[in-house]
Structure 1
Amino acid sequence: MASNMLDDFDEQFLACPVCMLHFRDPKILPCLHTFCRECLQDWATKQQPLECPTCRTQVSLPDQGVDGLRTNFYVNNLLDFAAAKKGTEPGVPCQVCEGNVEGSKSWCADCATLLCESCCAVHRKLPFSRDHEVTPEETLKAEEGRGKFHRKRHCDKHKKYELEFYCESCNALVCTACTVVDHRPGKDHNPVEITTVAKRRKEKLQSLLRDIDPRLREIQASIKEIDRKISNLAPSKEVATEKTKEYFRQLIEFLQKREKEILSQIDEQCRADGKALQTKKEAIEFELAGLTSAQTFCQQAVEHGSDVHILEVGNQVQTRVETLLAKQLDLESDWSEFQFVENTTFRYFEKEVRDLGGVKTKIDESKCEVIVKPAVQGFECVAKLTTMNPECRPCVTNSKAVTVNMKDPSGSDVPTQLQMKSLGEWEISYVPKVTANHRLEVKVNSQQVPGSPFDIDVNGKETPVLSIGQEGSGVGELDGPVGVAVDEDGNIAVVERGNKRVQIFNADIGQSLHSFPVEGENPHSIDVDPSGRILVTSWGESFGIRRYSKEGELLDTYKPYCMDDPHGLTILQDDRMVVVNRPQEPSCLLLQPDGSFIREIGKGQLQKPVFVTVDESRGVMFVTDWSAHKVFAFDLDGTLKFDFGKQGDNEGEFKKPEGVTVDQAGNIIVGNAGDGRVQVFGPDGTFIRKLGTVQGGYASGVALTPDGHVAVACFPGHCIELYRYSQTCL
């Protein structure tokens, strides 16, 4: 597509979607959408967290803010090309001598200046400019001109040198001078000519491009099918309405009210179906737009990007495309025509008036499912209802078809709210004011769903709402759980030291989903990277950081030269790693995604660090120290910001702190190995409250689930305990 935009390439491509003007210092977001730097800075001041103005993807800005984002040099090249090509039009003077209006012009890429023939000849003779890249007018006008038009990139440190090498150890573009000074070849640096690395990166992107087309066709076919169903909504409504009117003509004097109810139900069903199908279509179109946008960007980079541009954005493009391709999409749209049904014959209508007529859908009450989540006094609690069709697939119905009632232990009504969250998925929310047993009744089409009424035990705030596992080596059993994390689906991933395996549990009911063995003598910490892959540390003789697929296939093993006793681990959104390292002088190591060393943090300050977490919104990492009975806060440059805590049994004091995590507000959750307490602190380390005390008195790893629970690994208790957690209830 881009290769055909030669003479009059689309001006909209050069316009920022926010200000609608030509890009000024274009910056690329992780979703591959480009905006002016100033527009993004203004947008970021108005919105936290920052979302892409085009696709609404949440963006975590680098430490430098908007200035730390990649520059879209391909767009810069197009802008240069547009300016240069415009300069070749009749009546445009030379930008040096301001004459020679009618003569041919050339463009100096180094000076970004339009030159006439005379000035160009002088330009080529001057010592400082004789090596500049000058593009003649005939090349600018030629069909392949734009493909050869690239702005030169110079080193930020050595201004007169171009970027000609790529240091694979540092993932950085460097110049010739850099390879002598800061990136000298050796064990820490490996500078390679950019053409070599760019070729490999381009081949990978071309492979991804081939994978996009089948997915696009699948999505487009799904949208076409939804359009067909949407077109049938009106005829279905018309048929059902006419049958309703025909039936009720005989009952008009007795059943006007009921007739209006049925018609209203039909209208609501149509709206619900229409909204559901439209929502489904929009969701799929959203995925289509994202994938198409990524395809366009990727294709432009492959076909027209310079080697430098490929290296600048290649990793980013690859990550974005792989994420989109790996995303599980539900492209099915379960909808069937509804119709009016005569439930009662005419002669019985007087005593059966409430059952006269109805809107029939494919809902099968016997297939509907309710998941009752653990409840805690004073917190908003939820149960989830899924209305199913006979094939056990979620199916839409109208709100009048679902009734919910809850009673507390005294028999009093507990207010509930019913809200449809997605196609056939309903959320029943309530706030219990007392503890003990509550009863929840759920009906669909006046029929009790399987299991209704449900008994719900409401717990106190410091009581775990769910305990997962018991001692053993079987499915669902645990032996020495030490590290815990939450995967991209909200499931709880646990690493067991005794069984030397990772086991994945459903966070709602604690069911074991699957497990896989891990290598290493003493597995310790676990985390999940942005792509859903699982990383596990182990210390001892066969130490290392190992990356596994979601299914448990060993993908990589990292043993950088600077590491010999890894414990706690956390993965940043850009795939960098922070790992606790405990040799004779313990510290934390900041590593590249490939395991290469960046910097050491906390050396000489930490005594016996155990676990680590990072608040990326503030660029602060928190390290628990077993021996110091403290939590240390460092920035990612290695500067100690503050520490908090001391040894003791009182509120805010520690006994061998281990597990640590942070919530979205920056509050810090810490588990004690010495007494099992789990405590919450403010972003500055101020004590807020105690969550609870775990079984066995030893709280190891902690993790925060998306639905508001803190999962705590109880090492000697051989279980995972879940505590209800909410920032608003602290």
Structure 2
Amino acid sequence: MACKVEDSTDFDDQFLTCPVCMLHFQDPKVLPCLHTFCKKCLEEWATKQQPLECPTCRTQVSLPDQGVNGLRTNFYVNKLLDFATAKKGTEPGVPCQVCEGGQGEAKSWCTDCAVLLCESCTTMHHKIPGTRDHELVSQEVMKANEGVDRFQRKRHCHKHKNQELVFYCESCNALVCTACTVIDHRPGKKHNPAEIATVAQKKKETLQELLQGIDPRLKEIQQSIDEVDKKMSKLIPSKDAATTQAKAYFRQLVDLLQNREKEILGQIDEQCRVDGKALQTKKEAIEFELAGLTSAQTFCQQAVEHGSDVHILEVGNQVQTRVETLLAKQLDLESNWSEFQFVENTVVATFEGRAKILGGLKTDVDVSKCKVVIKPPVQGFRCFAELTTMDKSGSMCFTNSKAVKATLQRPYSEYTWDTKNIQAQVQMKSGGVWEISYVPKFTGKHWLEVKVNNQQVAGSPFRVNVQSRDIPVLTIGKEGSGVGELKQPLGVTVDEDGNIAVVDQGNKRVQIFDADNGQSLKCFPADKNKLFGIVADSNGNVVVTSMGPNLHGVKCYSKEGELLNTLKPDCIKHLLGVAVLKDGRMVVADKQQKSCLLLQPDGSLIREIGKGQLQEPWFIAVDESRELFFVTDFAAHKVFVYDLEGEFKFSFSEKGQDEGQFQGPSGITLDRAGNVIVVNWDDGRMQVFGPDGSFIRTVVTVNGGAPYGIVLTPDGYIAVACFMRHCVEMYRYC
């Protein structure tokens, strides 16, 4: 469904086409993200991936226990498909779908059976007892494009097949028929069936209020899109101008290098010429001396070997003087020349590094204003930091992916030879926000260097201390009553802003901490009695349970700490854990009654669950996609699983110290895949179980802290309220 329908008679074929098979919808099913697909298409899609993702928006979907069949049917699309079929029936020659044209052309449409009928079959339809009350739409009405709202298939009870669904049981959140109100949903303490029209009108009013808020938001978004379009129109001219400037700049650099090359080559040629001339002169001088000495040698040798005594006496003195003079002469036989070489004043490797900073892309990013938030790193896990690029005014701004670089540096250690830096991966999350990820191999001190346009951002390199998985990456609070201090914390949850909200029982208050650095953000008094459970609802409010001699109730606070509501119905006796559904209903654990209670948003009882099975229920986690909730039973050393109708589904584990066994299970939470995470109060083991209760792994052992509540943060850490250590410890989960 990609097309918006302005009114019930204005729709196109695309609106009725499944985005997967590209055919008209067959049994259309709606995902929680409100995208519609054929039932068969979703079933095939679900076999290809787990967990299931919406084929359109990629939102992860946890299917109910019934699988795709348990998803809601898009009855509006069905109505439009029926209308399209009926409209086609107004065309000449369309056969009756009952007698297959044996009695004539289609003349009417049965809204109950969703078939076209000829005139004869229409008459018979009115006579048969089972169909005489069916609503028929005539050919004239269909031709006039009227009565599209009458093309609504009537819903019948799955238990009483001949009964139409005409009531809505608010306690069970279910459509029921008249027979159901007499048998299974009789009005009383546990059930309150009301006419569909009455309940639907209230829901329409609620949705209408939501619709009123959509148009201003759509206008705001459209204005933003228009602004983006304006900037996009400048994108290509900006690229062309920057490209021209870059090419001119690097041409100049190339020209400089080429000119320098010519200059150096010229120096080499000149040096070769000068040295050659000097060596030639030297050679000639030596050759002259050589010639004189050789001539004297020849003359002297001839006189000695062939001269007569008279001849020897006549020239002997002259020869002697000449030879002695030549031999005594000081000759410079050294050339005084050494081989010349080219010298790399700047080595290529160094220049390569410097070349990387030649030129750059000037954006609005001011590295002194950029912000980096580092998530606590754990050895062997993919760890994250978040960079926000800012301009001079401190506003978020864009830059390109190649401009952002990050490197994890590990100082040299004598205990390891592996000192290689890790090039971190950088990925844009949104305009101006970058996710930096890396996987450290070792524990200990590291440095994370973050650069934008080859400039260090403010504070870089950042010191990061990589912990092992058994050590908390962050400890929030310490014993005391001051700001940021805790005393006997019990329940813990994550609010809508991703912060950690803690039941500070000893100080009778709720305190909220920054999940990234553990800094206290705010605190507010909650109750004079003992506090226990805490959860954030879908509206961003904080719901707290308290127990004491005069009050065992539920209080709802705004995120600013303002008390909004106090619920103290007679049905509750001794509350512990609490979970809130998206529609405002609550599931609470009642220790005294040894059961769980499903309550309306006003605190009235819908039903009691687990009576006779539970011994000491503590904490609760809800999987709304499967309409199940999980409760830890401290005394039975088990986790019990029920559906929201109150039916027991299964339980898992037993008492023991082995893997998959419990020693006083306390806190419980779920991950995105529906896996169940449970911590033992007695021995501190935090274990993970599959959606069916099968043991998967042990996450960590929380030693000596008496862990109570736990919660999984959106970025993959588990916060544990440590009662005895007066703190909240955070461990890496995924």
TM-score, scaled relative to structure 2: 0.76
1:427-506 equivalences in 2 (<5 Å): 427-506=435-514
Q: CA deviation at 1:219?
A: 1.0
In the other structure, the counterpart of 1:717 is 725
Q: Are residues 682 and 30 of structure 1, via their aligned partners in 2, closer, same or farther at CA, if it must alter by over 3 Å?
A: closer
Alpha-carbon separation, structure 1, partners of 2:77 and 2:355: 69
Alpha-carbon separation, structure 2, partners of 1:717 and 1:156: 54
Matched, 1:582 2:591: yes
Q: Are residues 216 and 154 of structure 1, via their aligned partners in 2, closer, same or farther at CA, if it must alter by over 3 Å?
A: same
1:271-310 equivalences in 2 (<5 Å): none
Alpha-carbon separation, structure 1, partners of 2:156 and 2:356: 80
In the other structure, the counterpart of 1:174 is 176
Q: Are residues 116 and 492 of structure 1, via their aligned partners in 2, closer, same or farther at CA, if it must alter by over 3 Å?
A: same
Any idea what SS the aligned residue of 1:243 has? Answer: helix
Alpha-carbon separation, structure 2, partners of 1:402 and 1:93: 69
In the other structure, the counterpart of 1:660 is 668
Kindly provide the amino acid, as one letter, of the partner of residue 200 in structure 1: K
For the Cα contact (< 8 Å) 1:248–1:255, is it kept in 2? Answer: no
For the Cα contact (< 8 Å) 2:523–2:561, is it kept in 1? Answer: yes
Segment of structure 1 superposing worse, 57-66 or 633-642: 633-642
For the Cα contact (< 8 Å) 1:537–1:545, is it kept in 2? Answer: yes
Q: CA deviation at 1:484?
A: 0.9
Alpha-carbon separation, structure 2, partners of 1:23 and 1:687: 39
For the Cα contact (< 8 Å) 1:437–1:457, is it kept in 2? Answer: yes
Alpha-carbon separation, structure 1, partners of 2:686 and 2:220: 49
In the other structure, the counterpart of 1:632 is 639
Matched, 1:565 2:565: no
In the other structure, the counterpart of 1:410 is 413
Kindly provide the amino acid, as one letter, of the partner of residue 563 in structure 1: I
In the other structure, the counterpart of 2:397 is 395
For the Cα contact (< 8 Å) 1:385–1:425, is it kept in 2? Answer: yes
**Equivalent position to 1:19, from 18, 21, 32:** 21
For the Cα contact (< 8 Å) 2:489–2:727, is it kept in 1? Answer: yes
Could you report, residue by residue, the CA deviation over 1:98-155 in whole angstroms, capped at 9, with x for unpaired residues? 45647x8222323434344455445435544443212222222224321333322222
Alpha-carbon separation, structure 2, partners of 1:499 and 1:685: 39
Structure 2 gaps, min length 5? 261-350
Alpha-carbon separation, structure 2, partners of 1:500 and 1:414: 48
Q: Are residues 256 and 664 of structure 1, via their aligned partners in 2, closer, same or farther at CA, if it must alter by over 3 Å?
A: farther
Any idea what SS the aligned residue of 2:29 has? Answer: strand
For the Cα contact (< 8 Å) 1:661–1:668, is it kept in 2? Answer: yes
For the Cα contact (< 8 Å) 1:652–1:679, is it kept in 2? Answer: no
Q: Are residues 409 and 530 of structure 1, via their aligned partners in 2, closer, same or farther at CA, if it must alter by over 3 Å?
A: farther
Could you report, residue by residue, the CA deviation over 1:502-555 in whole angstroms, capped at 9, with x for unpaired residues? 322221111223334435732211223455443322233322334444444555
In the other structure, the counterpart of 1:69 is 71
**Equivalent position to 1:39, from 41, 55, 67:** 41
Any idea what SS the aligned residue of 1:365 has? Answer: coil
Matched, 1:207 2:205: no
Alpha-carbon separation, structure 2, partners of 1:211 and 1:665: 33
**Equivalent position to 2:710, from 661, 684, 702:** 702
Any idea what SS the aligned residue of 1:359 has? Answer: coil
Bigger CA radius of gyration? 2
For the Cα contact (< 8 Å) 2:407–2:421, is it kept in 1? Answer: no
Alpha-carbon separation, structure 1, partners of 2:630 and 2:375: 31
Q: CA deviation at 1:680?
A: 2.3
Alpha-carbon separation, structure 1, partners of 2:675 and 2:5: 48
RMSD: 3.5
In the other structure, the counterpart of 2:619 is 611
Structure 1 gaps, min length 5? 259-348
Q: Are residues 560 and 116 of structure 1, via their aligned partners in 2, closer, same or farther at CA, if it must alter by over 3 Å?
A: farther
Alpha-carbon separation, structure 2, partners of 1:139 and 1:566: 59
Kindly provide the amino acid, as one letter, of the partner of residue 723 in structure 2: F
Q: CA deviation at 1:58?
A: 1.9
Alpha-carbon separation, structure 1, partners of 2:635 and 2:11: 65
Kindly provide the amino acid, as one letter, of the partner of residue 406 in structure 1: Q
Alpha-carbon separation, structure 1, partners of 2:258 and 2:539: 58
In the other structure, the counterpart of 1:56 is 58
1:251-262 equivalences in 2 (<5 Å): 251-255=253-257
Kindly provide the amino acid, as one letter, of the partner of residue 197 in structure 2: T
In the other structure, the counterpart of 2:702 is 693
Q: Are residues 38 and 557 of structure 1, via their aligned partners in 2, closer, same or farther at CA, if it must alter by over 3 Å?
A: farther
Alpha-carbon separation, structure 1, partners of 2:41 and 2:638: 39
Any idea what SS the aligned residue of 1:74 has? Answer: helix
Segment of structure 1 superposing worse, 178-187 or 650-659: 650-659
Could you report, residue by residue, the CA deviation over 1:226-268 in whole angstroms, capped at 9, with x for unpaired residues? 121122122112223333444555543335899xxxxxxxxxx
Q: CA deviation at 1:224?
A: 1.5
In the other structure, the counterpart of 1:512 is 520
Segment of structure 1 superposing worse, 572-581 or 74-83: 572-581
Kindly provide the amino acid, as one letter, of the partner of residue 591 in structure 2: R
For the Cα contact (< 8 Å) 1:486–1:528, is it kept in 2? Answer: yes
Q: Are residues 113 and 431 of structure 1, via their aligned partners in 2, closer, same or farther at CA, if it must alter by over 3 Å?
A: closer
TM-score, scaled relative to structure 1: 0.77
For the Cα contact (< 8 Å) 1:463–1:692, is it kept in 2? Answer: no
Q: CA deviation at 1:674?
A: 4.0
Any idea what SS the aligned residue of 1:410 has? Answer: coil
In the other structure, the counterpart of 2:532 is 524
In the other structure, the counterpart of 1:90 is 92
**Equivalent position to 1:229, from 223, 228, 231:** 231
**Equivalent position to 2:426, from 413, 419, 430:** 419
Any idea what SS the aligned residue of 1:722 has? Answer: strand
Could you report, residue by residue, the CA deviation over 1:558-592 in whole angstroms, capped at 9, with x for unpaired residues? 55664322212234677664432212x41234556
In the other structure, the counterpart of 1:294 is none
Any idea what SS the aligned residue of 1:223 has? Answer: helix
Segment of structure 1 superposing worse, 659-668 or 8-17: 659-668
Alpha-carbon separation, structure 1, partners of 2:649 and 2:166: 37
Alpha-carbon separation, structure 1, partners of 2:423 and 2:213: 46
Matched, 1:641 2:650: yes
For the Cα contact (< 8 Å) 1:678–1:699, is it kept in 2? Answer: no
Alpha-carbon separation, structure 2, partners of 1:147 and 1:87: 17
In the other structure, the counterpart of 1:374 is 376
